[in-house]
Structure 1
Amino acid sequence: MLQNIRVVLVNTSHPGNIGGAARAMKNMGLSQLVLVQPEDFPSGEAVARASGATDVLDAALVVDTLEEALTGCSVVLGTSARDRRIPWPLLDPRECASTSLEHLEQGGQVALVFGREYAGLTNEELQRCHFHVHIPSDPEFGSLNLAAAVQVLTYEVRMAWLAQQGQPTKMAKLETTAMLNSQLVTVEELEAYFRHLEQTLIAIRFLDPEKPRHLMARLRRLYGRCAISRLEMNILRGILTETQKVVDGAACKKGEE
């Protein structure tokens, strides 16, 4: 589906920005790059900034007009950082992503259009877009680098696509995965841990058995809120065991004195 989104860069002046945009696209799973009258392309600087996304650059289509770049598209979204005299449907990056996916689901082609580094898109060019997209950056320093703007929009598109596909947006660490897949402790194992914990707390004089003040009840409630795996229980029991060894060693040393 994402292969039906094309990123259109209009009259880009710095080839490094083309390479940076290509890298941003490939990071997010997009591959269609269209360049409208770039000032310097092909370029070694573009290749250097692409950092491995040279396949996107090699497949880039170079055209003379925005009309050519938009051929076959069913929806066009143009980025704009300035207020315009003529009101136009305005979207933020997240709305841009959801709108793009709606059209992709219907089998359409989507174009994300980015203007010149120094001036953006002209009013005439923006009027060829169905929607305008504004990235709500800090108004005190609102000018984004071209490749950064491409990254923002393509990131939102990917996040929306992952959610639509029911795919995770976070990569679980191996340790976390192992923990989730391990067997949970039984009631008997948890009770054994509480006995061990109580003994250790008494040994380090954190718990006074004459004046317990509901400490163990509070700890039971705390652990009761957690789904403790056997791996985690082994860690907890190991901590208690090593703590007791330190306490016993200190007692023996004191006795020798």
Structure 2
Amino acid sequence: MNYDDLFVLVIEPSKVQRTIIVNHLKSFGIHKIDEYDGAAQALEGMQTQLPDLVVSSMHLPDMTGTDVVTLMRKDEQLAHITFLLISSETHYRYLEPIRQSGAIAILPKPFSRKDLLSALQSTLLYLSDQDTEASYTEEEFEELRILVVDDSKLSRNYVCKILRNIGVETILEANDGNEALSQVENQAFDLIITDYNMPNLDGREMVEKIRQNSDQASVPIIMITSEQNPEQLTAIQKSGVSALCSKPLSYEMAKRIIERLVLDKNDY
């Protein structure tokens, strides 16, 4: 799949901002573009012809970008469509649901051409992996067991989709750190992918308990977080994580880290 194969749906109430976005997309060779200034009509349009990527602003005349992606994820037909937010919004209340939904990226206004290109590259990789068989031998994944830990079902779904796209079949899920520890006590895993902010037992505490008290103390652990506090991030790194990724998780980055940690790939 190439850029000129992509069908992109853009939701932006400002004609000026919409033109900027569309012109950037066209400069990458994307010409299948539908434009909307409101969410309701855009959601109707998606039902008529499924886009490969939805690019949306946060504040729309009839709802927010958060509402749009939430409705998409609840619709079986739209749930798999990649979502990119472009917004000057910085408030946690608006952005956190976007991060949890498995958005391909969140870009600020004004966004850079480089950042948009990175998001489009992740989209292409994500879609290409959906349409092709994994590039690894069956034996490499035959015994692979991965545990995904997150209190957000949407986030777990997105991470599981990444894993399935690269050929992983045995994926178990946990809602929080306590549930994950119970599973780690009873079965072996090749990789754990966990959120940081969770009820009951957060990701950092879970990692510390695994590193200090588990028979699987050396299992690779990827931590995904929207945390911005430098002190908290330092504490997470010291807890023993193998890799620390920010939300929203870049599909391309996630794939490379998983390959490096689990399959000993050297191209990361």
Return the TM-score normalized by structure 1.
Answer: 0.29
The structure number with the bigger radius of gyration is 1
Return the TM-score normalized by structure 2.
Answer: 0.28
Q: Which has the higher strand share?
A: 2
Q: More relative contact order in 1 or in 2 (CA 8 Å, sep 6+)? A: 1
